[in-house]
Structure 1
């Protein structure tokens, strides 16, 4: 019934307990999941999950905040995107959060390597015609600018994709939608201080909505602070249903359709 469009089941805190996690998915009627790659080094493990289980798929990409590991070329991404059950490029994008604390006092100008990496992912996605899974944090202006500069404006040559774990403003949501992107909401939407985000969830057109957990992070209320798992994605759907004034079943049906449409008709 539900699809978790973004999770990290290869991370140690989840991989070691995968049979139990899958059992909980069944109990919660979470029938599908997209396993997301964050580094080239971990891609083989992520891909193995998609190959082992017929209700898992995966992406290939390098998270914008990753340093000191393999830097992919367009060809590196293209080759892996051609493998079975790889349906997306990412997660990719930009992350400027905590410049002084997390990035040693560097400036935004010093993060040109992030912007070049993002361009590489966009070009690979356009070449293989598979959608982008975009992470943007404290960097929405540059994220949107680079998408536009690389031709991601909804045309025939655009890859399109999804702004995952959306936490930005209504203005950014409008801009992403104008570029043809989907918007995915995580457990953050259930947090007490997330009213602005709930307003965005009420605004996004039904045919552009996705839901996710971003497991093992960001568990929704009433599990906040605990390790997140795909079985919790119905709580995200329930919050969206509440703010939109529709049933949880309607949210599940819409987000399943959208998942199929975005990721090239993945079978239910």
Structure 2
């Protein structure tokens, strides 16, 4: 009786994850100082092909730009965050213009209005916001918006001071507000909060906004995903945001990944 060897088992290559862009990740902050390289490696393995790193204050601009210069898939955005309005100085705006010319960021951000945190000077926030919008317009750059309890005020400001669009980071407004932003050239960012089943309003919103107006983000180290609740957020968790978006919309994750990535590339000229 002739004996034959069993067919060999071929090891098939693992399918590549879909390409994703994290449009808002603070990878430069101290929370990542101990393991930044490892986090970045895991994010790349997970399919995150680019990250936009938005600034908070002028004293962090140099290190942020140095990090982005070292890592070709990290892109800087420079701006003055409204929550830290008391720390910003008039000279920072002059320095911002100089840094734009020298470092060529992909956006101005994160900037905007925060009427949620008590005690912040609203008039100073407004003046700082308008000054940075003027800089963005002069530089022909989009803006990354931080907006809390101030969507109507921000929309009114953008109508008076139009810019080349941008992204409303961690969007939590209404469908009508999302449409008004879209009319002004803005996309809306969805992140880790979408992964929580209890975020019913946000999940309904993610089904109502057209895919042409959506990008993905993590806001790491903040606003983490449900599977890592209570832990530091990380760009490597962006596929979980994609999975949540696919779940609530009932659409193919690969198709959503391609669309949201294309949206980010087109807006930010990546």
Q: Tell me if structure 2 keeps the 8 A contact 1:4–1:211.
A: yes
Q: Deviations over 1:235-261 (max 9, x none)?
A: 111111112221111121111111110
Q: Which position in structure 2 is the counterpart of 1:122?
A: 133
SS of equivalent to 2:24: strand
Q: Which runs of 5+ in 2 are unaligned?
A: 1-18
Q: Tell me if structure 2 keeps the 8 A contact 1:60–1:86.
A: yes
Q: Tell me if structure 1 keeps the 8 A contact 2:81–2:111.
A: yes
Q: Which position in structure 2 is the counterpart of 1:155?
A: none
Q: How far off is 1:42 after superposition?
A: 0.4
Distance 2:91 2:175 in 1: 33
The range that moved more, 21-30 or 130-139, is 21-30
Q: Tell me if structure 2 keeps the 8 A contact 1:169–1:196.
A: no
Distance 1:263 1:180 in 2: 12
Q: How far off is 1:78 after superposition?
A: 2.5
Question: Considering only CA atoms, is the larger Rg found in Structure 1 or Structure 2?
Answer: 2
Q: How far off is 1:26 after superposition?
A: 2.4
Q: Tell me if structure 1 keeps the 8 A contact 2:196–2:226.
A: yes
Q: Deviations over 1:63-87 (max 9, x none)?
A: 0111224345654323212234510
Q: Tell me if structure 2 keeps the 8 A contact 1:41–1:70.
A: no
Q: Tell me if structure 2 keeps the 8 A contact 1:191–1:220.
A: yes
Q: Which position in structure 1 is the counterpart of 2:111?
A: 92
Q: Tell me if structure 2 keeps the 8 A contact 1:74–1:123.
A: no
Q: Which position in structure 2 is the counterpart of 1:249?
A: 254
Q: Which runs of 5+ in 1 are unaligned?
A: 153-157
Q: Tell me if structure 1 keeps the 8 A contact 2:21–2:51.
A: yes
Q: Deviations over 1:107-164 (max 9, x none)?
A: xxx51000000001110110000100000001111111111111x2xxxxx3211101
SS of equivalent to 2:80: coil
SS of equivalent to 1:32: strand
Distance 1:12 1:229 in 2: 13
SS of equivalent to 2:146: strand
Q: Deviations over 1:177-228 (max 9, x none)?
A: 1222111111011123211111221122222210000000011111122100
Q: Tell me if structure 2 keeps the 8 A contact 1:81–1:88.
A: no
Q: Tell me if structure 2 keeps the 8 A contact 1:50–1:85.
A: no
Q: How does 1:1-12 map to 2 (within 5 A)?
A: 1-12=19-30
Q: Which position in structure 2 is the counterpart of 1:205?
A: 210
Q: CA RMSD in A?
A: 1.5
The range that moved more, 23-32 or 120-129, is 23-32
Q: How does 1:209-224 map to 2 (within 5 A)?
A: 209-224=214-229
Aligned residues: 251
SS of equivalent to 1:93: strand
